[in-house]
C-alpha cells in the first residue's frame, strides 16, 4: 500500500495550509490563497523528480490517460495497441476518446512485448500504450524504437511503477507522454489524482487546455478573460490533492528504499523453493519494488503452491484469474457494453471490428497462468517477515 502507509504530520501540515485559506481551486484567488499554490508546486516538483519539462495534475490516473490521448489527437477511426495485462482503465480511456484498443501480447517482463507490436499494426494504428505493471518496467527502449520506425506515438501508463527507471532514466519519460495515478492503492497517494508528463510543449498545452474547458491560462487579470482555441472538459486537480501529493512525493524515495529491502528479503525465502523463478525486470536497479512476481514451471504447480500459501495465511494473485487486469476476463468489454445504448465507439463505422481472442496472446496465457504476485509493503516488521518465511517453507513441502 506504499505511500498510504506513511500518511502523517507532513500531509496534515500541507492540507492545513489549504484549509487555512479556504481556497481549493488551483487557478485564481491570488489574494485569498496566501501564497499557496499546491497543485502548481506539486507539478513543478514532480516534473523535476522525473526529469521531464512539463507536468500537469489531473483528477485521476484514468483522467490522465483520457487527457493525454486527447492531446495526442486520438479519436474515431484510430487504433491504439495496448497490452493484454493492464488495469481496465487503459482500455476504457481509448474507448472514451472514441478509438479502439487493440490487444497485444506480453513478454517475460509481463509487460507489452515489443516484438508483438508490428503484428498488431493496421492502417488505423496511431499509437501504443506501454503499461509498466505491478511496479516494474516494460522493455521501453525497444518499444520506443519499434514505434518510431512505424511512426506511432508511445504513451506510458505508469500508474503502477512511479519511481521506477530504466538505465537511470525515469519510466514515463521515454514516450511522448507519461501518465500516473495517485489513487489510494498506488505508490504515492493523494486520495485520488493523476499526473501527465511530457517534454513536448505543444502536447503539454493541448493537455492543459483540454483538462480545463479550453482555458489557455494566460490572462494576467482574470480567469474569465483567458483565451481559448479548443473545447475541453473538467479534469482539474484541486489544492487538497496537490497538498497531499507534495507531502507524499517527498516520501517516495523512502517508500522505494523500504520496499526494495523488503522485496529482497522475501526473494531470499522464495529462492529456496525448487523450481521457482522471478519475473524479468529489464533494469533491476530501477524496480519500484511495489510487487514481487515469481513463477513456477507449470500452471498446475503454481495453483498448487498458491493454494498451499493461502492455507498458510499468505495470499497471492494469479492474474490469469483476475477480473479487472486481464482482457480475456472482461465479459462486459468483450460484449462491447459501453454505457451508451448505441455501443459507441465499437459501432462507429469509422472504426474496424477488432477481435480479442486468447489465441492472439499465447505468452500472456502461459506466463500469467503460472506467475504469482505478492504485494510488497513499506512496513514489514520482523514478525511479518517471519510469518511469510514460515508460510513459504511450509507451502514448499506441498508442491
Total number of residues shown for the chain: 399
Residue with cell 514505434: 147
CA distance 370 to 377: 23
Q: Binding string to ligand PLP for residues 15 to 54, with x set by CB under 6 A, is what?
A: ----------------------------------------
CA distance 178 to 172: 4
Q: In 3D, which of 301, 316, 260, 299 has the Cα closest to residue 396?
A: 301
**Which listed range, 10-18, 58-66, 169-177, 285-293, lies at the site for ligand PLP (CB under 6 A)?**
58-66
Q: In 3D, which of 286, 273, 296 has the Cα closest to residue 366?
A: 296
Residue 253 burial by CB count (10 A; 0-12/13-18/19+): exposed, middle or buried? exposed
- Bridge partners (DSSP) listed for residue 58: 194, 236
Q: 198: which 3 cell numbers?
A: 511530457
Q: Binding string to ligand PLP for residues 192 to 231, with x set by CB under 6 A, is what?
A: --x-------------------------------------
CA distance 39 to 131: 25
Query: Rule CB under 6 A: which of 72-101 touch ligand PLP?
Result: 86-87, 89-90
**Comparison of 181 and 262: residue with beta carbon closer to ligand PLP:** 181
Q: Which residue is nearest to ligand PLP (CB)?
A: 61
Q: Phi first, then psi: give them for residue 274, nearest 5 degrees.
A: -65, 135
**Comparison of 62 and 198: residue with beta carbon closer to ligand PLP:** 62
**Which listed range, 59-67, 147-155, 202-210, 327-335, lies at the site for ligand PLP (CB under 6 A)?**
59-67
Residue-wise burial string across 63-77, b where 16 or more C-beta atoms lie within 10 A, e elsewhere? bbbbbbbbbbebeeb
61 binds ligand PLP (CB under 6 A): yes
62 binds ligand PLP (CB under 6 A): yes
Residue 249: CB minimum distance to ligand PLP, A: 16
**Comparison of 131 and 266: residue with beta carbon closer to ligand PLP:** 131
**Which listed range, 57-65, 109-117, 274-282, 292-300, lies at the site for ligand PLP (CB under 6 A)?**
57-65
**Catalytic pick from 132, 150, 184, 211?**
184
**Comparison of 193 and 345: residue with beta carbon closer to ligand PLP:** 193
Residue 272: CB minimum distance to ligand PLP, A: 31
**Comparison of 36 and 326: residue with beta carbon closer to ligand PLP:** 326
Residue 197: CB minimum distance to ligand PLP, A: 15
Strand 125-131 versus strand 79-83 pairing type: parallel
Binding-site member from 4, 82, 110, 131 for ligand PLP (CB under 6 A): 131
Query: Rule CB under 6 A: which of 137-196 touch ligand PLP?
Result: 157, 159-160, 181, 183, 194
Q: What is the chain's alpha carbon radius of gyration, rounded to the nearest angstrom?
A: 22
By the 8 A CB rule, do 243 and 18 touch? Answer: yes
CA distance 55 to 79: 26
Residue 179: CB minimum distance to ligand PLP, A: 7
Residue 181: CB minimum distance to ligand PLP, A: 3
By the 8 A CB rule, do 42 and 249 touch? Answer: yes
CA distance 110 to 136: 9
For residue 212, what are the CA distances in angstroms to 38, 124, 200, 201?
Answer: 17, 29, 19, 17
60 binds ligand PLP (CB under 6 A): yes
288 binds ligand PLP (CB under 6 A): no
213 is a catalytic site residue: no
How many CB atoms are closer than 10 A to CB 288? 27
Binding site for ligand PLP (CB under 6 A): 60-62, 86-87, 89-90, 131, 157, 159-160, 181, 183, 194
What residues are annotated to the active site?
Answer: 184
Amino acid at each position: 500500500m506504499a505511500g498510504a502507509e506513511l500518511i502523517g504530520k507532513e500531509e496534515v501540515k500541507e492540507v492545513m495550509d489549504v484549509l487555512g485559506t479556504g481556497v481549493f481551486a488551483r487557478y485564481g484567488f491570488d489574494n485569498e490563497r496566501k501564497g499557496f499554490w499546491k497543485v502548481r508546486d506539486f507539478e513543478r516538483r514532480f516534473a523535476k523528480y522525473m526529469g521531464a519539462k512539463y507536468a500537469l495534475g489531473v483528477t485521476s490516473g484514468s483522467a490522465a490517460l483520457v487527457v493525454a490521448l486527447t492531446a495526442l489527437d486520438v479519436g474515431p477511426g484510430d487504433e491504439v495497441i495496448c497490452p493484454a495485462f493492464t488495469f481496465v482503465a487503459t482500455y476504457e480511456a481509448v474507448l472514451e476518446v472514441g478509438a479502439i484498443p487493440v490487444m497485444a501480447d506480453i513478454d517475460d517482463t509481463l509487460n507489452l512485448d515489443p516484438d508483438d507490436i508490428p503484428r498488431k499494426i493496421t492502417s488505423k494504428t496511431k499509437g501504443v500504450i506501454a503499461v509498466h505493471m505491478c511496479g516494474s518496467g516494460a522493455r521501453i527502449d525497444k518499444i520506443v524504437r519499434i514505434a518510431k520506425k512505424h511512426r506511432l506515438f508511445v504513451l506510458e501508463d505508469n500508474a503502477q511503477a512511479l519511481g521506477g527507471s530504466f538505465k537511470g532514466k525515469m519510466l514515463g519519460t521515454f514516450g511522448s507522454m507519461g501518465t500516473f495515478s495517485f489513487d489510494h492503492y498506488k505508490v504515492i497517494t493523494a486520495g485520488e489524482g493523476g499526473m501527465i508528463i511530457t517534454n513536448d510543449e505543444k502536447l503539454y498545452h493541448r493537455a492543459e487546455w483540454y483538462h480545463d474547458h479550453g482555458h489557455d491560462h494566460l490572462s494576467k487579470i482574470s480567469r474569465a478573460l483567458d483565451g481559448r482555441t479548443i473545447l475541453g472538459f473538467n479534469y482539474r486537480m484541486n489544492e487538497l490533492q496537490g497538498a497531499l501529493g507534495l507531502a507524499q512525493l517527498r516520501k517516495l524515495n523512502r517508500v522505494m528504499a523500504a520496499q526494495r529491502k523488503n522485496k529482497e528479503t522475501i526473494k531470499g525465502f522464495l529462492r529456496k523453493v525448487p523450481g521457482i523463478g522471478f519475473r524479468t525486470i529489464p533494469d533491476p536497479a530501477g524496480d519500484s519494488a511495489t510487487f514481487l512476481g515469481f513463477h513456477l514451471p507449470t500452471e498446475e504447480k503454481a495453483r498448487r503452491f498458491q493454494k498451499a500459501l493461502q492455507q498458510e495465511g499468505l495470499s497471492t494473485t494469479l492474474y490469469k484469474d483476475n477480473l479487472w487486469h486481464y482482457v480475456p476476463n472482461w465479459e462486459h468489454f468483450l460484449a462491447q457494453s459501453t454505457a451508451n445504448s448505441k455501443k459507441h465507439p465499437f459501432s462507429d463505422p469509422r472504426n474496424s471490428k477488432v477481435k480479442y481472442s486468447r489465441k492472439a496472446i499465447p505468452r500472456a496465457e502461459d506466463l500469467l497462468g503460472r506467475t504469482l504476485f505478492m504485494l510488497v509493503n513499506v512496513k514489514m516488521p520482523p514478525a511479518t517477515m517471519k510469518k511469510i518465511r514460515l508460510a513459504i517453507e511450509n507451502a514448499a513441502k506441498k508442491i
